[in-house]
Amino acid sequence: MRDFAAELDARKSAGLYRSRRLISGPQQPALTADDQSVLAFCSNDYLGLASHPSVSGALLAAVPEVGVGGGSSHLICGHHDAHHRLELALAGLTRRSSALFFSTGYMANLGVISALAGRGDTIFSDRLNHASIIDGCLLSRARVRRYPHNDMSALADMLAGTSGHKLVVTDGVFSMDGDLAPLREMARLCREHDALLVVDDAHGIGVLGEHGGGTLEQLGLSEQEVPVLIGTLGKAIGTSGAFAAGPALLMDYLVQKARTYIYTTAMPPAVAMATCAALEVIRDEPERRNHLRHLVERFRTEASALGYRLMPSHTPIQPIMVGDNWAALTLSRELEARGLLVTAIRPPTVPEGEARLRVTFSAAHTDADLDRLIAGLADCRCHYPG
């Protein structure tokens, strides 16, 4: 039998062991973690909707009406009109013809990629794509070619040298770097080389674009240019689940073929109803996105002035680059000792030698919260290499 204990010990001595904190109470910047009060800068609740009263209220109001459980899969008898209404609202938000609701983003990527590409096809995937995209590629049994991060000339060469069906897949906003994929250029390359473009905008939906339609709205990219969009609902939207959006024909194809859609219990309809309420907040309160942008730009100016190395990102994902695993852990622990929760991200989530603190912002953070983070970073500067 494999020596699992030795493998865990090896992880510990390499500074790669992952531990969980026990959170109590609602998801919000002021968190109780392992019985300690902390101010968190590491959640993906970018708009502060996870505990917004309209969203929680919609969930509470939905339960007496539709109950708790999803009952069965969508294709048996679980496809509720609440799911249908949410799909219509998501298609509206993203300006696509139709949308299909999945239970998680991980499952959406697995299901969509493995349905749209198969044996004999080729998938082109950015080296920094999310783990669920990588796993979706593996599950498809297609040939997978990974191109260097956002390197369009490498992608163009690979596409030109490949025959057969081609699918190109990328994060819209990269989850650990916070930068954007060059989607206009990717759409052009895909048109030239007759490849299907799939964009996972898990971190852009709700945050980017004038109406919160995400990276594609910000860049003005239509359904013709980006036929398959994937978004998640557990981050800026504040609830849970995910969706694919695009032409009705492709969504119908996914209903027939995406195994993670077909063979799983439908998400509780009450969650779909709470999600519809969250989409209304996104529509009605654009000031949340504006405040978020303000926090991000303030942080960039003040953290750079302290000598912290940031990435070229203008999204709420603002990693502080450290490098060494232990150094990243030390900086994170020192901040935590000052009541600031910012998790260290280490390989394999990021490449070897690129450990970092993944600072994220939420519209629920105040300027005073940011003052505290900056003061903590100033205080911990001596623990930052370089």
Q: Which residues bind ligand PMP (CB under 6 A)?
A: 104-106, 109, 130, 132, 171, 175, 200, 202, 232, 234, 242
Closest CA to 347 of 8, 16, 12, 9: 16
Q: Under DSSP, is residue 86 helix (H, G, I), strand (E, B) or coil?
A: helix
Minimum distance from residue 29 beta carbon to ligand PMP (Å): 19
Q: Which is nearer to ligand PMP, 358 or 365 (CB)?
A: 358
Q: Which is nearer to ligand PMP, 105 or 111 (CB)?
A: 105
349 is in an annotated binding site: yes
18 is in an annotated binding site: yes
Q: Which is nearer to ligand PMP, 232 or 325 (CB)?
A: 232
Q: Which is nearer to ligand PMP, 298 or 314 (CB)?
A: 314
Closest CA to 167 of 113, 211, 219: 113
Residue nearest to ligand PMP (CB): 105
Active-site residue, selected from the candidate residues 235, 240, 332, 365:
235
The contacts of residue 275 (CB under 8 Å, 6+ apart) are 86, 233, 237, 239, 240, 241
175 is in an annotated binding site: yes
Minimum distance from residue 107 beta carbon to ligand PMP (Å): 7
Q: Which is nearer to ligand PMP, 202 or 266 (CB)?
A: 202
Closest CA to 364 of 279, 274, 289, 276: 289
Q: Record the tokens describing residue 257, joined without a space.
A: 């073929």
Minimum distance from residue 283 beta carbon to ligand PMP (Å): 22
Catalytic status, residue 235: yes
Catalytic status, residue 166: no
Active-site residue, selected from the candidate residues 140, 175, 240, 332:
175
Catalytic status, residue 257: no
**Residue pair 231/205 in contact by the 8 Å Cβ criterion:** yes
Minimum distance from residue 349 beta carbon to ligand PMP (Å): 10
Counting Cα atoms < 13 Å in the Cβ hemisphere of 51 gives 11
Locus of tokens 């002035």:
305
The contacts of residue 60 (CB under 8 Å, 6+ apart) are none
Amino acid identity, position 114: S
17 is in an annotated binding site: no
Q: Record the tokens describing residue 239, joined without a space.
A: 């609830």
Report the distance separating Cα 198 and Cα 168, nearest Å.
6
Minimum distance from residue 143 beta carbon to ligand PMP (Å): 22
Report the distance separating Cα 128 and Cα 150, nearest Å.
9
Q: Which residues are catalytically annotated?
A: 175, 203, 235
Known binding-site positions for substrate: 18, 130, 349
Known binding-site positions: 18, 105-106, 130, 175, 203, 232, 349
Known binding-site positions for pyridoxal 5'-phosphate: 105-106, 175, 203, 232
